[in-house]
Amino acid sequence: MAIKIALFSTNNEIDCTKIAMQIANYFVDQGKHTVAVIESGSEKKYQEFHITSSDGIYRLNHVCYIPSDNTHYNESEYDFIIKDFGKVNALFEFTEAFDKVYLCEDSNPSNIFEMSDFLTEQNIIC
């Protein structure tokens, strides 16, 4: 069963793409793990970096980058699934399907109180 990781931001200027790619490649480098990164929304953020196969999945460095509209992938084929949610608002709700939820944000201490309120609203324990 895959470990599911969610990445998100509350800031329009912060993009989770680079972080998702770094995490995916870290897991691949740690051993023979199969890793999938799922794009957020309809943006094709990962397409420019990868080779697209006939099933519509982009592949690079043993990582599968799956467009959000591609529902043909099999979750059981992966050890790790990273979902890039991108920017979310305060009304966004994460499901319990994720084992870990991570915030992509600049290290600005003034964000801590806002983030604490956001996580409390979402019932996420930090």
Reported pTM? 0.75
Percent of the chain clearing pLDDT 70 (strictly above): 73
Cβ–Cβ < 8 Å for 68, 80: no
Residue 104 confidence (pLDDT) above 90: no
Query: For residues 70 and 57, what is the distance between their CA atoms, to the nearest angstrom?
Result: 8
pLDDT at 79: 93
List the structure tokens of 39: 């794009």
pLDDT at 115: 53
Query: What is the sign, positive or negative, of the torsion defined by CA atoms of 20, 22, 23, 27?
Result: positive
